[in-house]
């Protein structure tokens, strides 16, 4: 997560697809594979190409982070500051849009989606955010525009028909309080688009997640779609779980909150069982293959961009009983899941 998106909590919703929980150490669930920003380890994140590749690799959900344009359209970007993920800095016609903003207490300088109309954003092209770590993905820079949320939904619907399996949508509301203060009510817009797409249902193939409790609670009041609270730091008490249960169906904790990543065997911390015991689905984030993102014991060699032993991390998560997992590399997650849950 970037500095702008790190907060104590985020919401993620459990789908009606979630299966039975494990007990007595037995792996009984077939966890969901959630393509984090698409297959973002192989294609520039939040592009239709990244989502399509994830679908081709067998993911269950594609995850668009949502921000807003000046004219109130939901678009898929990791942040509303877009200099790292588009070619906007190379566009002389947009040079005067560079500015400084305070986003939820964090100062950021660059170009912001809320200063562009959708038509203007559509002239930009996506690029890899981590080119030094992901040169293969960076080779696709400049090919794809920024997609709208509706375009992501349309892709999921079309691919569900074509593949014969349900491709779910897992949108994250990014900085909804900030956007609301600027006259761009994100929660209301997202709820409206879900209704327009017949996704405003408890059993819809959708999870709505957010790092901010208040907007998630408000969203729950205007939509029937499942919701999930993301957690990035700190501990989660049983009392807090009880409070979150008032407006969240699931919990999306950081990996280190569910596994002891510095211990041999990566034993669970106990949060998964406690959260599931309180009725939550648990979808931790985010498994990546590069050494720089893996625990020291799972790295292979010294190169930060080299791929380490993420398979062991997936197995530990699945054995611990997670209901789903976010990953930039859905193909590897699907392969491990199929090996563990064959038959």
Q: Of the candidates 248, 240, 308, 311, which has an alpha carbon nearest to the alpha carbon of residue 283?
A: 248
Where does the pLDDT of residue 199 fall: very low under 50, low under 70, confident under 90, or very high at 90 and above? very high
Structural domain includes residue 123: no
CA torsion 118→121→126→132, rounded to 10°?
Answer: -130
pLDDT grade for 28, boundaries at 50, 70 and 90: low
Which of 155, 170, 157, 87 shows the shortest CA–CA distance to 122? 87
pLDDT band at 6 (very low <50, low <70, confident <90, very high): very low
Cα distances (Å, whole numbers) of residue 135 to 242, 285, 300, 335 = 44, 23, 18, 23
Look up residue 209 and give its two tokens: 């997640």
Query: Looking at residues 59-87, what average pLDDT do you find?
Result: 98
At residue 187, φ and ψ (nearest 5 deg) are -60, -45
Q: Is residue 110 part of a domain?
A: no
Check whether the bond before 153 is cis (ω within 30° of 0): no
Could you tell me if residue 186 is inside a domain?
A: yes
pLDDT single digits (tens) 202-211: 999 999 999 9
Question: pLDDT digits over 276-306, tens only?
Answer: 999 999 999 999 999 999 999 999 999 999 9
Please report, for the domain that includes residue 264, its CATH number: 3.20.20.190
Q: Decide if 139 is inside a domain.
A: no
Q: Does 126 reside within a domain?
A: no
* 45 Cβ contact list (under 8 Å, min separation 6): 37, 38, 78, 85, 126, 128, 129
Phi-psi map region of 73: left, alpha, beta (phi>0 left; psi -120 to 50 alpha): beta
Does the residue 250 lie in any domain?
yes
> How many domains, in total, are found in the chain?
1
Q: What is the pTM of this model?
A: 0.91
Cβ atoms of 290 and 308 within 8 Å: the answer is yes
Q: Is residue 286 one of the residues assigned to a domain? A: yes
DSSP 3-state of 53: helix
Greatest pairwise CA separation for the chain in angstroms: 61
∠210-215-218 over CA atoms, to 5°? 125
pLDDT tens by residue, 130-159: 999 999 999 999 999 999 999 999 999 999
Look up the domain containing 153 and give its range.
Answer: 9-79+145-341
| Range 80-119 burial, b when 16+ CB lie within 10 A, else e | bbbbbbbbbeeeeebeeeeeebebbeeebebbbbbbbebe
In a domain, 89, yes or no: no
Q: Which of 270, 273, 221 is nearest to 248 (CA)?
A: 221
Going by C-alpha positions, the residue among 178, 180, 176 that lies closest to residue 208 is 176
């Amino acid at each position: 997560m970037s500095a702008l998106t790190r907060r104590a909590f985020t919401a993620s919703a459990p789908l009606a697809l979630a299966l039975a929980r494990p007990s007595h150490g037995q792996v009984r669930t077939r966890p969901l594979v959630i393509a984090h920003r698409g297959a973002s380890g192989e294609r520039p994140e939040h592009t239709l190409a990244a989502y399509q590749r994830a679908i081709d690799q067998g993911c269950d959900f594609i995850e668009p982070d949502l921000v807003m344009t000046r004219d109130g359209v939901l678009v898929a970007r990791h942040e509303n500051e877009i200099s790292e993920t588009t070619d906007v800095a190379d566009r002389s016609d947009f040079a005067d849009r560079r500015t400084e903003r305070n986003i939820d207490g964090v100062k950021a300088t660059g170009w912001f989606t809320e200063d562009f109309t959708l038509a203007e954003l559509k002239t930009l092209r996506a690029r890899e955010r981590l080119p030094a770590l992901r040169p293969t993905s960076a080779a696709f820079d400049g090919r794809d525009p920024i997609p709208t949320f509706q375009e992501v939904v349309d892709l999921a619907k079309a691919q569900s028909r074509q593949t014969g399996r349900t491709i779910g949508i897992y949108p994250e509301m990014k900085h909804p309080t900030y956007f609301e203060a600027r006259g761009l009510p994100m929660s209301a817009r997202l709820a409206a688009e879900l209704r327009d797409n017949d996704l405003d249902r408890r059993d819809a193939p959708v999870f709505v997640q957010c790092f901010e409790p208040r907007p998630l609670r408000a969203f729950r009041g205007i939509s029937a779609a499942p919701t999930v609270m993301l957690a990035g730091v700190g501990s989660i008490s049983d009392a807090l779980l009880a409070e979150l249960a008032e407006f969240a169906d699931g919990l999306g904790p950081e990996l280190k909150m569910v596994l002891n990543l510095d211990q041999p065997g990566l034993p669970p911390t106990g949060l998964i069982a406690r959260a599931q015991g309180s009725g939550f689905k648990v979808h931790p984030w985010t498994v990546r293959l590069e050494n720089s993102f893996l625990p020291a014991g799972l790295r292979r060699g010294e190169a930060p961009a080299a791929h380490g032993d993420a398979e062991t991390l997936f197995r530990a998560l699945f054995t611990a009983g997670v209901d789903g997992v976010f990953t930039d590399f859905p193909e590897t997650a699907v392969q491990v899941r199929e090996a563990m849950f064959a038959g």
